[in-house]
Amino acid sequence: MTLPFKVDAWRLATDRTPRAELAGAVNWLAVGDGRIAGDNTDGAGLVADLTGNLGIALAGRRILLVGAGGASRGVLAPLLALAPARLVVANRTEARAVDLAGDFAGARPGRRRRPRRLAGDFDLVVNATSASTHGKAIDLPRSLFAPGATAYDMAYGPAARPFLDTARSAGARPKTAWACSSSRPPSPSGYGAESGPEPHR
């Protein structure tokens, strides 16, 4: 399952894995025996890519997650489990960021009328919006990126270029995802474990 149906798919599932239950979104449905099982591998895939493939330690780091759709829902709990110093959720429609952050203890919403909370010092900025999918850049101040920060787009391939170009010009290290959605349950280790698109770095 992919955008924008992950939350709808979660509602459709009659049985859900604990991580899918927590996320409120699923990217896998398995149908059989009159039941529909749902799982969410997005978070495990993202974490495996960030920490395993890219070697980024997230404990004590400051993370900005941009987007409040199904992908963000899936990755929030696994990111929080790595004990970042701060995890802020920002979204074009602010109310959705407030709702999403409210569902996960430890996450905070970014608010436009208090921009200083979003100023300047994130070690990792994850673009989990679908703007890239539509070939659009997201409007982010360069000051969000701490020196040496990593900018990571959950979209893979050329679609990620507008966000990564912005990040690069702000001095951040641009990285694109390997397909977390192609990692299959019950193998949550994710990226690279199954066939899928080659990573574009």
137, 142, 156: which is closest to 92 by C-alpha?
137
Q: Closest-CB residue for ligand NAP?
A: 69
**Cβ at position 3, least distance to ligand NAP in Å:** 3
Q: Is 133 in the site for ligand NAP (CB under 6 A)?
A: yes
175 is catalytic: no
Told to check if 67 binds ligand NAP by CB under 6 A, we report yes
Residue 98: Cβ within 10 Å count: 16
Residue whose CB is less far from ligand NAP, 146 or 179: 179
Half-sphere exposure of 134 (CA within 13 A, CB side): 9
Judged by CB, which is closer to ligand NAP: 71, or 172? 71
Site membership for ligand NAP, residue 43 (CB under 6 A): no
Within 155-184, the residues that bind ligand NAP by CB under 6 A are 155-156, 177, 179-181
Q: Which residues contact 154 (CB under 8 A, 6 or more apart)?
A: 46, 67, 71, 75, 126, 127, 128, 177, 180
Stretch that binds ligand NAP, among 14-22, 28-36, 65-73, 115-123 (CB under 6 A): 65-73
Chain centroid to CA 172: how far? 18
CA dihedral sign, ordered 176, 58, 40, 97: negative
Catalytic residue among 2, 3, 5, 6: 6
Measured from the CB atom, the residue of 123 and 153 that comes closer to ligand NAP is 153
- How big is the chain, counted in residues? 201
Helix and strand element counts for the chain (H, E): 6, 9
- In terms of CB distance, is 34 or 131 closer to ligand NAP? 131
Instruction: Give the count of residues interacting with ligand NAP (CB under 6 A).
Output: 29
Burial 59-94 (b: 16+ CB within 10 A, else e): eebbbbbbbbbbbbbbbbbbbbebebebbbbbbeee
- For position 92 contacting ligand NAP by CB under 6 A, the verdict is yes
The answer to the question of residue 4 lying near ligand NAP (CB under 6 A) is yes
C-alpha to C-alpha distance for 167 and 64, rounded to whole angstroms: 13
Task: Give the residue numbers marked as catalytic.
Answer: 6
Contacting positions for ligand NAP (CB under 6 A): 3-4, 6, 42, 67-72, 91-93, 96, 128-133, 136, 138, 154-156, 177, 179-181
